[in-house]
Amino acid sequence: MPTATEDQIGWQIVREISVKAAGLLLPIFERQHGRNGRLSIQTDPRLYRNTKAILEQATEFSLLAPNIIVKIPVTRAGLPAIEEATHRGVSINATVSFTLPQAIAVAEAVERGLKRRESVPRIDKPVEPKVVDALSKKFIDFGRAFAEGGLSIEEFDSFGPTRRTLRQFVAGCGELGAIIRDFMLPEW
């Protein structure tokens, strides 16, 4: 890749490492009929506002190996990408999801995507009340996060835990670019 940017090289490395790691997990995936042995690969967190770009990358990543699951952020742009990716048969892992409203929005997006695709069985297991009580006492944002109407979709991107996690993910992309740049253009 002689003309590639640090970013392009970094994402190519992510792809190649993911293919190798997925290959290591594939026997487990096959033996357990897809219940285990999946490799989760993160979409570029800097795309969190661009549905089309998230969807394109998620679709591309899903084709790297049969046991890939793609992480898509639960942002305003991420939700339609989750629905469409589900419709296309991409296994998704909702990331940057900290609240019950986000979880409900993801479930609804996945359900819409599945309805457009096919019917599949759902797993429903309620959270124990003692867990909810303990978390409510420990974390200030948990009340809003756990209440079904605690956040609107418009508030997902500005919710403190979402913002902090996206900042960390985006910073990680910058660090990867810096590592590639140092390798390509060493100071000495």
10-residue stretch averages of pLDDT, the chain, 188 residues long: 90 96 97 95 96 98 97 97 96 94 96 84 71 82 82 90 90 88 85
To 5 degrees, how large is the angle CA 171–CA 174–CA 177?
Answer: 155
CA atoms of 140 and 150, how far apart (whole Å)? 13
Residue 31 three-state SS: helix
Domain assignment present for residue 23? The answer is: yes
Owning domain of residue 106: 6-165
Q: Which one of the listed residues 20, 52, 71, 138 is annotated catalytic?
A: 71
Contact 104, 97 (CB under 8 A): no
Burial environment of residue 176 by CB neighbours within 10 A (0 to 12, 13 to 18, 19 or more): middle
Domain assignment present for residue 187? The answer is: no
State yes or no: is 71 an active-site residue.
yes
Domain assignment present for residue 34? The answer is: yes
The DSSP output letter for 66 is T
Domain assignment present for residue 132? The answer is: yes
To 5 degrees, how large is the angle CA 104–CA 144–CA 79?
Answer: 35
| Entry pTM | 0.76
Domain assignment present for residue 176? The answer is: no
Domain of residue 57, CATH code: 3.20.20.70
Query: What's the total number of domains in the chain?
Result: 1
- Give the H or E element holding residue 169: helix 160-184
Domain assignment present for residue 186? The answer is: no
Domain assignment present for residue 56? The answer is: yes
Query: Quick one: pLDDT at residue 120?
Result: 61
End-to-end CA distance of the chain: 23
Domain assignment present for residue 26? The answer is: yes
